[in-house]
Homo-oligomer: A and B are copies of this chain.
Amino acid sequence: MKALGMTSTDGPEAVALEEMPVPEPGPGEVRVKLAAASINHRELFITRGMYPGMKLPATLGCDGAGTVDALGEGVSDATLGAEVVLYPGRNWGPDRDAPAADFGLLGMPFSGTIADYIVVPAENLAPKPAHMTFEEAGAMPLTGLTAWRALMFKGKLKAGDTLLISGVGGGVATFGLAFAVALGANVYVTAESQDVIDRAVSMGAKGGLLYTDPEWRRQVGKLTGGIDVVLDGAPSPSFANYVRAIKPGARIVIYGSTAGNEITFNATDIFLKSASIVGTQVGDPQDFRDMLAFVDAHKIKPVIERSFPLAQAKEALLHLQDKHSFGKIVVTM
């Protein structure tokens, strides 16, 4: 089979489609013939060796959808030929609030989805939502799950709440927008261009501000009327711009730090408003099930920017690095 392999940390230019043996499922495992995967920023970090717990060689990709192709010993709850989407992690453990120490994702440290086949534990399987194509289902797991947990489990977003998505356009932010609109929240965004704001508004956002405008700090309170939940993957320097506009009891949910690590905040803004700054990563299997049920009920589909065949998986990676603007990059087998 073909798989997007990685043997050095020389960046996305150094990855290559490799010929590998088709893997055999062990006890409790299943083999899935993949139909679609997607590209995430974590693959770019991994190719540069900038990810915790680096382990080489690796096959990349943690999002996947396909059909059940072979069952290992003792697997009773999976059916050959079933159309499935894969929970992107392994070994979350028993604590819903945080993953166990040996938690990891498909596509480093565990084998990845940008390949013709993958073997995973049977509990990683979930039914592909019936209203989605394989491409759509394969675009969803990591970023959809991260957005779901950030907003619903950690951010406790409710219908009627006001949500600020700080920096819309990426996968997590775009899923967050779709989920929050479907829930009935009032969603505002910041973005780097008016085009992206318009795109967000067409998906249901109430309005947006350009984060390139140094005045946005002054406008955000007036535009939103006060913020209940913030979703932010790059909280510096945005943090200081919205913290004054949060309402009592607000939840600022942080799922990344791609704009630098240091955040400075005023303790008084947080404690006098009974507000919280909440860190989140990925989500547990229950979050995944909850998200799939919600997606199914609301017939939500991911925004796909572009799709590449497996033979061009490396180009897909470079597209995310250099040309991405809004929505997910998909790889199809």
Instruction: Spell out A's residues near B (CB within 8 Å).
Output: 52, 95, 97-99, 101, 235-236, 247-249, 254-257, 261-268, 270-281
Bound form: Cα–Cα A183–B275 in Å? 25
Contact A257 B268 (CB under 8 A): yes
Contact B276 A278 (CB under 8 A): yes
Bound form: Cα–Cα A247–B101 in Å? 10
Residues of the B chain whose Cβ atoms lie less than 8 Å from the Cβ of A270: 254, 277, 279
Report the minimal beta-carbon distance from A273 to chain B, rounded to whole angstroms.
Answer: 6
**Smallest CB gap from A247: residue in B:** B98
Q: Which of B255, B262, B276 contacts A277 (CB 8 A)?
A: B276
Contact A52 B257 (CB under 8 A): no
Return 28 A-B CB contacts under 8 Å, by A number. A52-B272, A98-B247, A98-B248, A98-B249, A98-B273, A98-B274, A98-B275, A99-B248, A101-B248, A236-B267, A254-B271, A257-B267, A257-B271, A261-B267, A262-B265, A262-B267, A263-B264, A263-B265, A265-B265, A271-B281, A272-B279, A272-B281, A273-B279, A274-B279, A274-B281, A275-B279, A276-B279, A277-B278
**Smallest CB gap from A276: residue in B:** B278
Bound form: Cα–Cα A268–B262 in Å? 9
Residues of the B chain whose Cβ atoms lie less than 8 Å from the Cβ of A265: 262-265
Bound form: Cα–Cα A272–B254 in Å? 10
Classify the secondary structure of A's interface with B. Answer: mixed
Contact B95 A249 (CB under 8 A): yes
Contact A264 B267 (CB under 8 A): no
Contact A249 B97 (CB under 8 A): yes
Bound form: Cα–Cα A312–B129 in Å? 72
A235-B274 contact, Cβ under 8 Å, with A98-B249, A249-B95: no
Bound form: Cα–Cα A266–B264 in Å? 9
Residues of the B chain whose Cβ atoms lie less than 8 Å from the Cβ of A257: 266-268, 271
A274-B263 contact, Cβ under 8 Å, with A95-B249, A268-B257: no
Bound form: Cα–Cα A8–B105 in Å? 62
Bound form: Cα–Cα A112–B330 in Å? 65
Residues of the B chain whose Cβ atoms lie less than 8 Å from the Cβ of A101: 248
Bound form: Cα–Cα A262–B263 in Å? 10
Residues of the B chain whose Cβ atoms lie less than 8 Å from the Cβ of A267: 235-236, 254, 256-257, 261-263, 279
Report the minimal beta-carbon distance from A26 to chain B, rounded to whole angstroms.
Answer: 29
**Smallest CB gap from A270: residue in B:** B279
Bound form: Cα–Cα A254–B274 in Å? 9
Q: A257-B267, A263-B266, A276-B276 are in contact. List 12 more A-B contacts (CB 8 A).
A: A98-B247, A98-B273, A98-B275, A257-B271, A262-B265, A267-B279, A270-B279, A271-B281, A272-B281, A275-B279, A276-B279, A277-B277
A262-B261 contact, Cβ under 8 Å, with A248-B98, A279-B272: no
